[in-house]
Amino acid sequence: MRKFDVPNKFRSELITKIKLERKQNDRMKRDFSPTILNYSNVTFYLSRHFGFCFGVENAIEIAYKTLNENQGKRIFLLSEMIHNPEVNKDLEENGILFIQDTYGKNLIDWEEITSEDIVIIPAFGTTIFTENILKEKGINPLQYNTTCPFVEKVWNRSREIAQNNFTTIIHGKAQHEETRATFSHTEVHGKAITILNLDEAKFLAEVILGSKSEKEFYEKFGTKISENFDVNNDLIKIGVVNQTTMLAEETLEITEYLREIMIKKFGIEKISEHFADTRDTLCYATNDNQTATKELLKSDANISIVVGGYNSSNTTHIVKILDEKMPTYFIKNESEIKSKSEVHFFDIHTKTMKVDLEFLSKYQFPKIALTAGASCPDSEIEKVINKIISFYN
């Protein structure tokens, strides 16, 4: 895989060494078991896969290159480039300004942006609407574009199936930057609908099979369908793609489920006319991180720590997987670990910060499953390890 020029501050000598050794011993990526780091009093089960993925490294390389090449110019990022506070903070400290927040709300008025400015498109991509605003201002949206190639692959497949009159069902969070971008790029070529989970797929299935009415469909999905969506015609040919950071397993489950529904309605012999095969659009990094996380569940770890941005979708899904089996602490960085007996962490269920005043002190020799999201620098993981071992001489 291509090597990217990422600032050293985001790298870690320790983690690089571990990743390299695992890679050399398992070139085909068959072994997803964790790496065991034994420090006598504390043991870490370090996930086989975590940290910067291809798309994130690509985005970081472009962003810092843009900074170097355009000194003296105003440089804007359309929104957070990736969902990691350390990376975004560093970019801001280097003078980059964010035009929008995660939900597309402007933090800087479009009036203030001129053709003299540099605007970087984040790794999630952006909507056609925003691309057009930039074009009208004389800014080429493709010049500093960090959209991940795996996100573009989803857009390309959506375009292909839309050209054959298939409606694209996007498994994603309707408000997430990437889903908004995918929806927008799909809508140009055909019809689209966003569903959040299997429950919504089941609702859709009832509409397809006729046990739910047109009215119920529009009430449920009215804000998540493309313009002029016609429930009677636009659910005859469908295909499923996803927001690349959703649970890959859930996307596959939804895909298989809807395929079965289409078989029920149109028969197996006609299935290829009614259901598009889109499985090749799943992101490798999300898949590998989630597979490696499931391997962590097989360890005898007492607790798990997941490092990443609290608004990061892929990190939240990793937390969800671990949280079902063991106490899991979702922290943005090592500063949330105050001492052996105090940690501040994000609760994904209540979406609030919580404090645990026992943390590691409950265990004589803690065993910790440790991993991070695809946008978390390796340096942050090393800092967590160092902080924890500092409590144990």
How many C-beta neighbours within 10 Å does residue 290 have?
22
Structure tokens at 97: 């300004």
Shortest approach of ligand SF4 to residue 143 CB, angstroms?
20
Shortest approach of ligand SF4 to residue 120 CB, angstroms?
15
Contact residue for ligand SF4 among 75, 119, 148, 319 (CB under 6 A):
148
Which DSSP category does 69 fall into?
H
β partners of residue 21? none
Contact residue for ligand SF4 among 84, 242, 281, 286 (CB under 6 A):
286
Shortest approach of ligand SF4 to residue 171 CB, angstroms?
14
- For the segment 63-82, give every residue that binds ligand SF4 (CB under 6 A): none
Under the binding rule (CB under 6 A), the answer on residue 285 touching ligand SF4 is: yes
The burial of 125, by beta-carbon neighbours within 10 Å (0-12 exposed, 13-18 middle, 19 or more buried), is given as: buried
Integer Cα distance of 370 and 157 in angstroms: 35
- For the segment 158-217, give every residue that binds ligand SF4 (CB under 6 A): none
- Residue 178 annotated as catalytic: yes
- For the segment 88-147, give every residue that binds ligand SF4 (CB under 6 A): 123
Shortest approach of ligand SF4 to residue 227 CB, angstroms?
27
Structure tokens at 73: 């110019």
Residues 6+ apart with CB under 8 A from 54: 1, 2, 148, 149, 150, 284, 285
Of 241 and 303, which has the nearer Cβ to ligand SF4? 241
Of 313 and 328, which has the nearer Cβ to ligand SF4? 313
Integer Cα distance of 272 and 275 in angstroms: 5
Kindly state the number of chain residues that form the binding site for ligand SF4, as judged by CB under 6 A.
15
Residues 6+ apart with CB under 8 A from 204: 169, 193, 195, 217, 221, 235, 258
Active-site entry in 57, 178, 187, 200: 178
Structure tokens at 131: 């691309």
Integer Cα distance of 25 and 32 in angstroms: 12
- Whether 368 and 304 have beta carbons less than 8 Å apart is answered as yes
Shortest approach of ligand SF4 to residue 46 CB, angstroms?
19
Integer Cα distance of 82 and 93 in angstroms: 16
Phi/psi at 364 (nearest 5 deg)?
Answer: -70, -45
Contact residue for ligand SF4 among 245, 281, 333, 379 (CB under 6 A):
245
Shortest approach of ligand SF4 to residue 355 CB, angstroms?
30
Under the binding rule (CB under 6 A), the answer on residue 244 touching ligand SF4 is: yes
Of 1 and 28, which has the nearer Cβ to ligand SF4? 1
Binding mask 16-55 for ligand SF4 (x = CB under 6 A): -------------------------------------xxx
- Looking up tokens 């598009």, which residue turns up? 276
Under the binding rule (CB under 6 A), the answer on residue 374 touching ligand SF4 is: yes
303 SS3 class: strand
Contact residue for ligand SF4 among 76, 150, 166, 346 (CB under 6 A):
150
For ligand SF4, the binding residues (CB under 6 A) are: 53-56, 123, 148, 150-151, 244-245, 283, 285-286, 314, 374
- Which residues are catalytically annotated? 178
